[in-house]
Structure 1
Amino acid sequence: MSHRNARLTVFGRLMLVERVVSGRPVAHVAAEMGISRATAHKWMRRWRTEGQAGLHDRSSRPRTTPHRTPATTEARVCELRRTRKLGPARIGPILGLPS
C-alpha cells in the first residue's frame, strides 16, 4: 500500500516502466507523471534488477540498530522504574548511563 502522499502507486510505476520500455525518454515520462527524473530512474533501476516485485513499496524501517541499548540494561532500567519509581536523572548514575 502506498503512503498517503505518494505520486505513484504500483500501477503508476508499472505504467512508467511500460512507457520507458516502449522507447520514450525517462525525462519526458517523468514530467508527464509529475515526478522527478531521479525518481523515475530509481523505479526503472528497481524494475531492471528485481522485475515487477521491485515496483512494490518497501519498509523504511532500518535493517539494524547498531547503538541500541543492550537488553540487560533495558530490563534493569524498566525494573528500577517499576520497583523504585525512579526517573532518568536518578537511574543514569545508578547504571552508569548518561541521564
Structure 2
Amino acid sequence: MIITDHNALNLLLTGSTHYLTTEPDKEAAIYYTTPTEAHMRLPSGVQWRGSWRLTPTGYHVDWTGGPSATWQIDAEPGRIVYRDAEGTERGVLTRLVPGDAEGLAA
C-alpha cells in the first residue's frame, strides 16, 4: 500500500533516521530533520543535504549538489520499501530510528 496520507508520512519521516538497503550489503541512511529538510549518506560515504516536500503521491526531495527525485513509501505487513516515481523498488527499509542516529545533520 503506497502511503499518501500526509499525516502518516510526516509521522513516519520527520525526526527519524531511515536505513535502506539499496543493493546487497549496501546501506544508505536518511535523516528527515524537519518537515522541509533532510540529510543522506549514500553507501559510498557521500553525504547530501536537501529539501523535501510532500506531494499527492508521496514526497519529492531536491539534494544540494545531487539529484532531485520523487519517492513513494510502500508498506505491507513486515516490509516497507522506497519506490521511485515510476514505481520501481529502490530500497528496503531495514531500520527506522528516532532522531539523528548517524549525526548526519551535525
- Common fold: TM-score over 0.5: no
Higher share of residues assigned strand:
2
Q: Which gives a bigger RCO, structure 1 or 2 (Cα 8 Å, sep 6+)? A: 2
TM-score (norm 1): 0.23
TM-score (norm 2): 0.22
Higher share of residues assigned helix:
1
